[in-house]
Amino acid sequence: MNKRHLSTDRAYRDAVRPQDGEVRFQVLVEQTDLLIVAEKDLQVEIASYVSQVRGEIKNWIMFHPEFAESLVPIEVPDSAPDLIRSMAKAAAVCGVGPMAAVAGAVAQAVGDRFVVDSPNILVENGGDTYLHSTRERVVALLAEPDSGAKVGLKLEADAFPVALCASSGTIGHSLSLGTGDLVAVRATDARLADAAATALCNLLNSEADIDRVLKHAQALAEFGLEGVFAQYDKKIAAWGELELVALD
């Protein structure tokens, strides 16, 4: 892995602007670092819940270390917790290891748990975002951290819940076998979107691979993938339910 952008300051979060009647706050539990936008400050409640979610994952890994180590799908029994089974299912569909879905799984777990307290809630977890919303949103797509996001994805008020998960061979610390700048995936299910973003970015090693990425994304549509954005250097492409808009 030879990534150009490994900063941990998450400066891209500065561009996240709550709308009227909303607040933003951070939830940090061990290695889990969430940015939340909600209708009220739920920091304490969400931190407690994240601790429970992390505990469930860590407990499973303690007795099944292959769940954390495998880069390919693995089977889990029906007796496994719902969160573990959902990660394994998404990984199996996309041909990656189950931990490729962990950020999306945590984001969705938080969003679904607290939507009853805040019908408008955005959960961002290391570039993977899960949203419930009653209003239109624009989510930035960040391929060049040094220059800031230039393109955003417009989401209509009737589109939610929506997951937007990203993987990159040049940004961040997460493992990618590709060298592309960005693959961002839209789906209703954040576990699927997260695993798919990893799988598709693994395929992106040159501009010539972008068409292969889009074709593979289309093959995943039957499992719930709704759209994909891919960038390698100056070449970009998109497929599916993506309304791209220029950002100021």
> Is residue 3's pLDDT more than 50?
no
Q: What is the pTM of this model?
A: 0.88
Question: 163 lies in a domain?
Answer: yes
Question: 215 lies in a domain?
Answer: yes
Q: Residue 117 belongs to a domain with what CATH number? A: 3.10.520.10
Note the helical H segments in the chain. Answer: 43-63, 66-69, 82-94, 102-114, 190-202, 210-219
Question: 6 lies in a domain?
Answer: no
Residue with the two structure tokens 């495998």? 70
For residues 166 and 182, is the Cβ–Cβ distance under 8 A? yes
Distance of CA 192 to the CA centre of its chain: 9
> Is residue 147's pLDDT more than 80?
no
Question: 53 lies in a domain?
Answer: yes
User: Quick one: pLDDT band at residue 53, thresholds 50, 70, 90?
Assistant: very high
- More confident site: 197 or 9: 197
pLDDT for position 140: 84
Question: 4 lies in a domain?
Answer: no
- What's the number of domains the chain is made of? 1
Question: 3 lies in a domain?
Answer: no
Question: 127 lies in a domain?
Answer: yes
Question: 239 lies in a domain?
Answer: yes
Phi, psi (rounded to 5 degrees) for 101: -105, 5
Which residues constitute the domain of residue 202? 11-246
Residue 120: in which H helix or E strand, if any? none
User: Quick one: pLDDT band at residue 170, thresholds 50, 70, 90?
Assistant: low
